[in-house]
Amino acid sequence: MKILVLNAGSSSQKSCLYDLGDQKLPEHPLKPVWEAMIDWTVSEGQGILTVKSNHIKQKITLQSENKTQDIAQMLNSLIQGETRVINQFSEINMVGHRVVHGGTKYSEATIITPEVKATIKDLIPLAPNHNPAHIQGIEAIETILGNVPQVAVFDTAFHHKIPVENAAYPIPYEWLAKGIRRYGFHGISHQYCAKLAAQILNKPLSSLKLINCHLGNGCSLSAIKDGISIDTTMGFTPLEGLMMGTRSGSIDPAILIYLMREYQYSPKQLNTMLNKESGLKGISGISADVRSIFQGIKEDNERAQLALDMYVHRLRSQIGSMLAVLGGLDALIFTAGVGENAPIIREKACESFGFFGLKLDREKNEASPVDVDIAATDSSVRILVIHTEEDWAIAQECWHLHQLPS
């Protein structure tokens, strides 16, 4: 069985192909036989396509102003040239898409029908940077691969069971009925990490209290009890919660009223400021990349130091919030680009929780850990670093749906 996965961002399109052959779903993630990514942030009307397969890495500059044509060129590298891994598109059995927002309607992976597509479009106002890209990817597959089955795997689905008292906002009740509530995001990653944590700890997932810290350019925490997300930091949109690479996270909403009243900010300007110009980038003035922040600190850049201090403070505060919701903790998990690769962030995050017996093993923390426990032997709480595999999790959902009777 061959499964193609598309993972669309607001300014990128990542894709990979898994070849499971005739085997059952393996316990451990397979490595894709082909990987590709288009980065459209270079300049307007231009993208950079990177393709890796057959031990070859190619970079191609795309000049088209039509993203569907760019996606077509990306997919053509599956069947053409040195990166070819299949002879024709008809060999692909299923295509899985990460979809950021599924609203309250979808609580599990779903075969994409005209109705599902319409719902994803209807939810564009709640995820304006992502859902349009998902529709674009779905329609590109329809054009290029024809009627191959496509699956939507929703980032919001894992948070579907959050209790209403945790999901509702304290604004007039009628807005809850109109869909203004906490949805939560990064659900594919949170669920994958929770399942793998149970394997690493050799305990049933249904017996564990976990806090998963997904720290990348976007950041969120999930409080997971008995395998179910009962609270999370992102909310109605992916803007709420932790300080992120370019996103502000939670701020006093009256700031927005003030900016509109006193400085005549428009909704578009506010959106750009909060989503693109805030967070680590906005405070440091350097970059959204934590590595650049660390370099700035080495050069005695005070704003870089402030950015890191704010980031860590908010991370600790939100971990504490999740801890209170859970009423205990078996494991604290770090994942995604920053969570997996920044030992200083893990160390600083853990420092505040020694009061209840959480202890980090510094040597293990510095040893580029992957899918292991880095807690000290006498720690009352385990500390895990897990390499999140969102694409593999999407492929797993496709495999399961493919086994269902038609």
Active-site residue list: 155
CB contact at 8 A, 37 and 59: no
Cα separation, 4 vs 96, in Å, equals 6
**Order of strands across the sheet that contains 331-335:** 228-232, 219-225, 209-215, 331-335, 382-385, 372-373
CB contact at 8 A, 51 and 35: yes
CB contact at 8 A, 70 and 47: yes
Q: Report the 3 state secondary structure along the chain.
A: CEEEEEEECCCEEEEEEEECCCCCCCCCCCCCCEEEEEEEEEECCEEEEEEEECCEEEEEEECCCCHHHHHHHHHHCCCCHHHCCCCCHHHCCEEEEEECCCCCCCCCCEECCHHHHHHHHHCHHHCCCCHHHHHHHHHHHHHHHCCCCEEEEECCHHHCCCCHHHHCCCCCCHHHHCCCCCCCCCHHHHHHHHHHHHHHHCCCHHHCEEEEEEECCCEEEEEEECCEEEEECCCCCCCCCCCCCCCCCCCCCHHHHHHHHHHCCCHHHHHHHHHHCCHHHHHHCCCCCHHHHHHHHHCCCHHHHHHHHHHHHHHHHHHHHHHHHHCCCCEEEEEHHHHHHCHHHHHHHHHCCHHHCCCECHHHHCCCCCCEECECCCCCCEEEECCCCHHHHHHHHHHHHHHCCC
Name the nearest CA neighbour of 352 among 327, 321, 330. 321
Name the nearest CA neighbour of 238 among 250, 224, 227, 229. 250
